[in-house]
């Protein structure tokens, strides 16, 4: 069977490395809908952080850069909005926030879950559902979440400005709330804190 047929044992490794923030953290991302589709659940499990899934993202990034965008935005094989290469998408419209649900071939992201919890703690309704491509262009603000991106504004999609085409007040407020939490500023609610002993 060789290595590809191996069933175990499974090893687990975690490494840490400092990652600086890119210009997009302040200026926002310019996304373009990719000609590549998001890897589908019937092909590979997109919900898990599997290194093989990153090749899908890499193909999208190369395509996006060729088109003059910062990052790709993938659709599912059914034409619904999925996510970017390694980060989840949120849209703000008419006082509400919505994001593709976990049945839209997205990663079940820890950062996505954190953003949803923070927004709901602030009394905002967050709807997880399928999202049509047209809705991208109607958003008043948009942002992506991920381990590397944290909370980053999206200022345009397919060359069309989101809102005023600059990071908006909603996203800036959420960015600050997120950074205060993860960097230990202010008084974080106890349920966000885990004691670490050396």
Residues catalogued as catalytic: 49
CA-based angle 136:141:143, to the nearest 5?
85
Q: What are phi and psi of 100, to 5 degrees?
A: -55, 140
Q: Is the peptide bond before 15 cis (omega within 30 degrees of 0)?
A: no
Q: How far is CA 32 from CA 69, 104, 161, 173, 178, in A?
A: 6, 18, 12, 25, 26
Q: Hey, which bits of 85-169 come out as E strands?
A: 88-93, 96-100, 126-129, 141-146, 150-157, 160-161
Cβ pair 193, 184 in contact under 8 A:
no
Cβ pair 47, 6 in contact under 8 A:
no
For residue 38 the two structure tokens come to 């998001």
Q: 120 CB contacts (<8 Å, ≥6 apart)?
A: 126
């Amino acid at each position: 069977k060789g290595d590809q047929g191996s069933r175990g044992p499974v090893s687990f490794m975690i490494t840490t490395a400092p990652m600086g923030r890119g210009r997009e953290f302040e200026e926002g991302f310019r996304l373009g809908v990719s000609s590549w589709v998001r890897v589908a659940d019937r092909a590979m499990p997109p919900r898990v952080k599997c290194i093989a899934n990153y090749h899908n993202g890499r193909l999208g990034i190369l395509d996006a850069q060729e088109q003059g965008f910062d990052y790709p935005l993938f659709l599912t094989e059914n034409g619904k909005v999925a996510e970017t290469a390694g980060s989840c998408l949120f849209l703000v419209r008419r006082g509400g926030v919505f994001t593709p649900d976990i049945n839209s071939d997205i990663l079940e992201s820890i950062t996505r879950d954190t953003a949803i919890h923070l927004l709901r703690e602030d009394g905002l309704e967050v709807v997880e559902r399928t999202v049509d491509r047209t809705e991208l262009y109607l958003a008043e603000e948009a942002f992506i979440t991920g381990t590397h991106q944290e909370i980053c504004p999206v200022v345009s999609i397919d060359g069309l400005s989101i809102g005023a085409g600059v990071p908006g007040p909603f996203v800036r407020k959420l960015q600050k709330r997120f950074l205060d939490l993860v960097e230990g500023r202010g008084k974080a609610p106890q349920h966000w804190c885990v004691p670490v002993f050396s």
